Amino acid sequence: MTSSAPISSQLVSRAYRGTILHALSRSELVYFADGLLLVDSEGLIVACGPWADLKDALQGVAVRQCRPDQLIVPGFVDTHVHLPQMAVAGCQAPSLLEWLDTHIFAEEARFEDEDYARTVSAWFLSELLANGTTLANVFLTSHPGASQIAFETAASLGNRVVMGQTLMDKHAPDSLLRPAAQLLAETESLCKSWHGANDGRIQYAWVPRFALTSSEELLSGLGALRRQYPEVYLHTHLSEQLAEIAAVKAQFPWASDYTQVYEHFGLLGARTILAHGVHLSDEELLRLKTLDASLAHCPSSNFFLKSGRFRLMDVLQRQLRVGLGSDVGAGPELSLFTVMKDAQYMQSDTLVPLATLFYLATLGGAEALHLGHRVGNFEPGKEADFVVLDLPPSPVARQKPTASSQQDSEALLSRLVYQGHQPWVAATYIRGHQVYQRTAIAQN
Ligand SMILES: [Zn+2]
């Protein structure tokens, strides 16, 4: 989008020239074959448009010139991922509940050791940046010490995150459980330290793991915290597998459905992010829409644990807020490229428009996290979170059916969705600061 008002060159402190693609909505893409992204000294976008229209605003500002085989896109948004599962991603089990028992709880218990927590936090948060993920909604472990370390690491690496201590007071190994009152005090203390930290890049979330590991006392205490701190997020799982839903029905016999458990305790509303929602009824979708809660669609994880098929087109048609999540470690990798592709393949009877997949991985994710006014695309005034991608060269010229810019952008997007992967990420920027640069690999 080109700003119609003249641009004061004094505002511009950094400039990036190259092919640029970003989404304005689910169906509206903006593509500049030779574009320019102008950023001010605060890391805010001054303008984004064709080079020819904006070059006069440079006035001596050095331009970072991307190569013709590179592409600038907004940073990816991962709306559901688990930091303490990084080391067990890709470990198979027959079902969600068995996977938790076999692999996950034992791994999360290792975060009692703060050296271990420090090592994995640095690994996970660096890998997010290496995957071009500039905003992530993150489950931590249940240890307040390890949670504190994760926040310190994010602040030092410059990640933009929504994170919170995972809270469990039943149905997990003793080493991961604490009484509800203690958990509520620990999570409130972390929230006071970190919500809004690092110039707003760090946001806090209340994170009950899911209904099954929560007592009514814990859920009710979180409802009270939500009323006290309405700007803080709530992040949990909902309706992932049929056996889980049956267990929730047995544990909360008074609830009409899984959604009502959270609704009853005042946990649903704007800034609530619910991972999965694979088996939601029409009635539940309607209530979530009315409450303005968001869904995190995690197709790679749903394939991995054979959870079922998320009703993406129904959710989009009902205008719910929805983003994409890698759900590492049930999702095997952090790459949002893979998640976009899996979101397409999961809809076996419908072709999801490429623009919609790209929107979900960028602006849609930001909107699901109520941060669409700050990041997600290159509209002027937003924070400059973006990724420079290297598209692998081909020994032959690619066919160009027409010279239309729309066809060029569709062809590019199709490559991103079906062929993109982590090694394409050359550099990652958050609020105009470079937070990742791929190191060159020596060639023999
Ligand atoms: Zn999860």
| CA angle at 120 for the pair 139 and 365, rounded to the nearest 5° | 35
Whole-number Å distance between alpha carbons of 85 and 265: 28
- Per the CB < 8 A criterion, the answer to whether 247 and 211 are in contact is no
The dihedral through the CA atoms of 217, 221, 226, 227 has a sign that is positive
Find the 80 Cα to ligand 1 centroid distance in Å: 6
Find the 330 Cα to ligand 1 centroid distance in Å: 7
Task: Provide mean pLDDT across the span 61-85.
Answer: 96
Q: How many CB atoms lie within 10 A of CB 272?
A: 24
Q: Tell which residue, 269, 167, 164, 278, has the closest CA to residue 212.
A: 167
Beta-strand ranges (E) seen in 298-385 are: 321-324
pLDDT of residue 3: 46
pLDDT of residue 367: 98
pLDDT of residue 394: 73
Find the 181 Cα to ligand 1 centroid distance in Å: 24
Question: 53 vs 11, 32, 62, 215, 299, CA distance in Å?
Answer: 16, 11, 17, 59, 40
The single residue listed with the structure tokens 């006392």 is 217
**What is the secondary structure of 174-220 as a DSSP string?**
GGG---HHHHHHHHHHHHHHHTTTTTTTEEEEEEE--GGG--HHHHH
Find the 96 Cα to ligand 1 centroid distance in Å: 10
Whole-number Å distance between alpha carbons of 47 and 44: 9
pLDDT of residue 90: 87
At 176, the pLDDT band (50, 70, 90 cuts) reads very high
Task: Write out pLDDT tens, residues 276-330.
Answer: 999 999 999 999 999 999 999 999 999 999 999 999 999 999 999 999 999 999 9
Task: Write out pLDDT tens, residues 90-132.
Answer: 888 888 889 999 999 999 999 999 999 999 999 999 999 999 9
Which residues are CB-neighbours of 190 under 8 A, at least 6 positions away? 144, 147, 148, 151, 164, 165, 204
Task: Write out pLDDT tens, residues 399-424.
Answer: 665 557 777 888 899 999 999 999 99
Task: Provide mean pLDDT across the span 247-273.
Answer: 98
Domain-by-domain residue ranges, the chain? 9-74+378-437, 76-368
pLDDT of residue 409: 86
Find the 59 Cα to ligand 1 centroid distance in Å: 48
Task: Write out pLDDT tens, residues 1-36.
Answer: 444 556 666 689 999 999 999 999 999 999 999 999
pLDDT of residue 144: 97
Give 163's strand partners. 138, 204
Query: Considering the chain, what is the average pLDDT of its residues?
Result: 94
- Per the CB < 8 A criterion, the answer to whether 339 and 326 are in contact is yes
pLDDT of residue 1: 43
Find the 35 Cα to ligand 1 centroid distance in Å: 38
Tokens at residue 177, please? 């459980």
Tokens at residue 227, please? 């009323």
Q: Please check the confidence at residue 156 and state whether its pLDDT lies above 50.
A: yes
At 230, the pLDDT band (50, 70, 90 cuts) reads very high
Find the 296 Cα to ligand 1 centroid distance in Å: 9
Find the 104 Cα to ligand 1 centroid distance in Å: 11
- Per the CB < 8 A criterion, the answer to whether 149 and 123 are in contact is no
Q: Please check the confidence at residue 395 and state whether its pLDDT lies above 90.
A: no
pLDDT of residue 393: 77
Options 3.90.1150.10, 3.40.50.620, 2.30.40.10, 3.40.50.300; CATH for 9-74+378-437 is 2.30.40.10
Find the 276 Cα to ligand 1 centroid distance in Å: 8
Query: Rounded to two decimals, what is the model's pTM?
Result: 0.95
Which residues are CB-neighbours of 439 under 8 A, at least 6 positions away? none
Find the 156 Cα to ligand 1 centroid distance in Å: 25
Find the 257 Cα to ligand 1 centroid distance in Å: 20
Question: What CATH architecture applies to the domain 76-368?
Answer: Alpha-Beta Barrel (3.20)
The single residue listed with the structure tokens 């859920």 is 219
pLDDT of residue 440: 61
Find the 36 Cα to ligand 1 centroid distance in Å: 38
| CA angle at 322 for the pair 300 and 130, rounded to the nearest 5° | 55
Question: 33 vs 29, 65, 160, CA distance in Å?
Answer: 13, 13, 29
Find the 425 Cα to ligand 1 centroid distance in Å: 25
